[in-house]
Structures are given as C-alpha cells and as structure tokens.
Structure 1
Amino acid sequence: MSNTIVANDLRKRYGDVNAVDGVSLTVEAGEFFGILGPNGAGKTTTLEIIEGLRQADAGEISVFGQSPWPRNPALLPRMGVQLQASAFFERLTAREQLRTFGSLYGVPGRKADEMLEVVGLSDKADTQVEKLSGGQAQRLSIACALVHEPELVFLDEPTAALDPQARRNLWDVLRAINTDGRTVVLTTHYMDEAEVLCDRVAIMDHGRILRSGAPAALVRGLEAAARVSVASGVMNADEARTLPGADEVTDDEVSLTISTRDAPKVVAALAERGALEGVQIKGATLEDVFLDLTGREYRA
C-alpha cells in the first residue's frame, strides 16, 4: 500500500512550549489512523500542519506526494477537514449549509443533498442549524467535510461532548467513510473509540509520539495483569489470595476481583472450588497503555 501521509521530524514551537517536538509518522492509503493524547499533547497542532493550515518550524511533510504548505490548491479538493469547533452560516438549514459548502468545490446541489442521507440527516434537511442537537451538528460538520468526496479525511475529536448514543451512531458513519475507501485521520480522547475504529494509533504527549502501532498489538505489548472477577460471597478475600496465580485481591461486596498474570490458572483454581458464579475475565485495554505512557496525573 502507498503512503498518503509522510511526516518526518515535524517541529512547532510557541514561546517556551514545544507544541510539536520531532513528530514522524506515516499513514497508508485507505487506513484509519488515530492520534491519541491528553490535553496539550500536540495532536491538533500536528493535524493542522499536515492539513496545511499551519506552517511547521522544521521538518518535512508530504500529502499525496506533495507539500501542503504553502496552501496547495492541488491538494484541497482531495482533502476533507472537520475541525474541533465548526462554524456554520447563521439561519441556514442543513440542506442550505451543505449546498453552500458543496458549491465551493463545484458540487451540484442534488449531489450535496445525498450526503445528508449518508450521515442520517435527511429528516433534518429543512431544519436551521441552530436547532440541531449536538450530535446532529457534528454529523452535519462531517457531511460538509465529505461533500466533495475527498480521498483523505481529517477528524479532530469528532465525538467530543456527545452522549453515548450519539457517539455510537457517529461511529457507524465513520466506519462507512473508511469502508468506502477513504483514508481517515482521527484525533480523540476516547480510547474505546480508537480501539473500535482505528487500524493503527500514535500516542502523543508533550509534542512527541511515545508509541505507535495497531491497538491490539500495543495492548499485548503492555503485558499488564488480567482481572478475574466472581460474585462477592462465593469465596472470601483471604482464601482468594491463596489461589495459585493470584497477585492482588479486592472485594467491593459486589464482585471479588483477582489481579493475575496467569488467568487460566486462577480460573482453574476457582473451578475446583466451585466458585465460578458470575465469572468475568478482563484483560488490559488501550486505556491501560495510554495511562502507562502518559501517566495518571490530572491535565487541565
């Protein structure tokens, strides 16, 4: 597969802050690529450099084999950008908004209208954007980024501040975008979102990429303990601590949870004692990898 994006040693500084400090990455054609990181990690600045919205202080960036900076008119029709905060024209309906964005790329009105169906907003076509819910406005923002059928789509925290149902519905839209053959680059704070959607992710902090790879591979590489839980009361905590393979044991009077690096041995021991009621086994997740790399301290 060919590389759609190649970034090498990108750097961007604001005063004493290294917003982007030597970022190198590649994104293959047709890939769903995620950039993860806490607030202030440099995700948005990195994305803006790749999009050609901001000039890097140093480093090289290539999109479809061309430099996006200075603003490259040849690249603009091939890219779709959904920013963290999207601004719409006041008092226009969803259909009018989308047709206006489409007209900038010479997209016929009827073709633009079809995008409303793609993002599930056909029934809101005549609704003014001010009256759309948060999730509906986000879907309209994505529709505006897709109206000219770009090959490469950038999504900067597209599900931020959405309720769980709206997030899940938007995931379906994003999967469809990628399945249709488009390359997608996503920034997000939600680890479950990245695990579900992304082929590969890069975890950033303090302007640097700390680790990258397929989510499942990053989780396996952590070698974190698994958690085996059974219903509280089937065994007391002291007895659980004597089980072969048990490391730590907690009991919150709902579940007895055993932390272990040998889950099969623990489960076998529980089975011998007839203590498998409500058994659940949970391994490490991408969130564990994220916290292991970036720490657990609060970020403003």
Structure 2
Amino acid sequence: MPYTIEVEGLRKRFGNATVLDGVDLQVQAGEVFALLGPNGAGKTTTVRILTTLLAPDGGTARVAGHHVVREPNAVRAAISLTAQEAAVDGMLTGAENLRMMARLRGAPKGIADDLLERFDLVEAAGRRVESYSGGMRRRLDLAMSLVQRPQVLFLDEPTTGLDPRSRRAVWDAVTTLADEGVTVLLTTQYLEEADRLAQRIAVIDGGRVIEQGTAAELKARIASEVLELHFADRSQRIPVNGPDDVRRALEAHPDAERIELHQPSLDDVFLAVTR
C-alpha cells in the first residue's frame, strides 16, 4: 500500500539538546498509527515538523506525497491538526467557531450543524466556548479540524484530561474517519487508547524509534505473560513464556491458593523498552 507519511532520518536540536536523532516512520494510507513515548521523547516535535510548524535540522519527511520543507502549502492543504491545546475562540459560541472555520475552508453549508450533532454539542452550540468544560472544548477542537475532511489527521494527545464519555466520543470519531480512508497519526499517553485504535504503533525514546509493529507483535516480542500466584498472606508475580514455565512455577509453589495468568499489555511493553 502507498505511504501517506514517510519519514527518514529526521533530526532536530534545540540548543545543546538533541530532541530527534534519526527518526524513521512509514504510515500507510487509511491507517491509524500511534506514536508512544515518555515525556520529552520527541513525539510532539515530530508532529510539529510533519505539520510544517517546525523545520527539521536534518532528514526528510513527506506527507500526502509532499515534502514538508519544500512544499509546505501543499502539505497544509492536505492535513488537519488537533494540538495539545484546543485552538478555539472562547468569546464565540461553539456554532460560531465551526461556522467561521467552515467559511475559511470553503466547506459546504450545513457542515457545522452536522459536526455539532456528531460530537454531542448541539445543546451547547449557542453558548460561549469560555463556559465549556475541558472535554467539550476538546470535542469542539476536533470537530473544527474536520470541517473539511483531510487526507491526514494529526492528533497530539487528543484525549488528555477527558472524561470517559468524551474519550469514547473521540475514539468513535477516529475509528469512523479511518474507515472512511483518512490517515490518522496520534500521539498519546493512554496506552489503552493506542491498543484500541492503532493498526500499528511506534515507541520513541531518546529521539529515536526503538520499537515498531502492531500491538500484538510488540506484546509477543517484548513482554512476557505474567503468572500471578495468590497465597494466604501474599501474592507473587512471575514472568512466564509458555506452558513449560507455567508448569515449573506451579510445581515450585504448590501452596498457592489461586492462580491467574495475565497476557502482556502495552504498559508492559512501554516499561520494558523505554528508559
């Protein structure tokens, strides 16, 4: 399949600090791709370069077939970005924010009303955004990025601070967009979010991609299953790889009152590969 995002050897320094040290990524058309990593790993810097907000110091990057340095206007025409801070006008109502964006992007009439309904903002449409909760502002911000359907949607930690209902609304929107052929690159601190949404995941640390694959591939390659043994006065967790390890652990602990076998999670992968 064609790649909608192609990154090779991407580098960026701020003063004496190397933030990106040769990042390589390839994201297929219509794919949800998650970029994970600890704070300061370079996730947001990568997104800012790919969305033409920041120039790289080295390497190459193409988005929707366009070079991010030589063809920034073409890149901007093909993408939408929902950044960590909601880019909405608090003095305007929710409906006014969406209609203003629709006029700026030359979107068809009625798109604002459709998006208000899609993101459960109809009842709040006539209120000033300054009165919105954080979750409502985030949903409005995402709706504004979809006034004109992009080829590529960048979501930089889109559900940080959202309540479970708002988070689920964002997840549903991302899934729908991917089903419709939109390529989505998201950064997130919620590993459950990446596990649920992303077809493929890259883990970035120290400015480099250190692991990449599907969630299932990463779990199988990096993390072990965990056998949890419960005794009368304590519990013990033992990493195991396959039935032979399980058998040996049970033979060594015949006094266990209850046993549980846990599959590895992305949390286990994250802790295993990051510093």
* TM-score (normalizing by structure 2): 0.90
Would you say how many aligned residue pairs link Structure 1 and Structure 2?
A: 271
Larger Rg over CA atoms:
1
The answer for the alignment partner of 2:266 in structure 1 is 286
Residue 122 of structure 1 aligns to a residue whose secondary structure is coil
2:180 is equivalent to residue 180 of structure 1:
yes
Residue 6 of structure 1 aligns to a residue whose secondary structure is strand
The answer (yes or no) to whether the contact 2:99–2:112 under 8 Å persists in 1 is: yes
The answer for the alignment partner of 1:54 in structure 2 is 54
* Deviation of 1:9 (Å): 0.5
The answer for the alignment partner of 2:44 in structure 1 is 44
* Deviation of 1:42 (Å): 0.7
Give structure 2 stretches of 5+ with no counterpart: none
The answer (yes or no) to whether the contact 2:19–2:207 under 8 Å persists in 1 is: yes
2:238 is equivalent to residue 259 of structure 1:
yes
* Deviation of 1:281 (Å): 2.3
The answer for the alignment partner of 2:219 in structure 1 is 219
Q: What is the distance in 2 between the residues matched to 1:285 and 1:223? A: 8
* Deviation of 1:128 (Å): 1.5
Q: What is the distance in 2 between the residues matched to 1:169 and 1:282? A: 29
Residue 7 of structure 2 aligns to a residue whose secondary structure is strand
Query: What do the CA deviations read for 1:251-274 (whole angstroms, capped 9, x no partner)?
Result: 2xxxx444241564648959xx89
Runs of at least 4 residues of structure 1 off by over 4 A?
262-270, 273-277
The answer (yes or no) to whether the contact 1:44–1:187 under 8 Å persists in 2 is: yes
Q: How does 1:146-295 map to 2 (within 5 A)?
A: 146-229=146-229, 233=232, 251=234, 256-261=235-240, 264=243, 266=246, 280-295=260-275
* Deviation of 1:275 (Å): 7.1
The answer (yes or no) to whether the contact 1:200–1:213 under 8 Å persists in 2 is: yes
Residue 189 of structure 1 aligns to a residue whose secondary structure is coil
Residue 66 of structure 2 aligns to a residue whose secondary structure is coil
The answer (yes or no) to whether the contact 2:33–2:199 under 8 Å persists in 1 is: yes
Query: What do the CA deviations read for 1:159-184 (whole angstroms, capped 9, x no partner)?
Result: 11223343233222222222222110
2:9 is equivalent to residue 30 of structure 1:
no
Q: How does 1:102-141 map to 2 (within 5 A)?
A: 102-141=102-141
* Deviation of 1:67 (Å): 1.1
Q: What is the distance in 1 between the residues matched to 2:87 and 2:172? A: 24
Give structure 1 stretches of 5+ with no counterpart: 237-250, 296-300
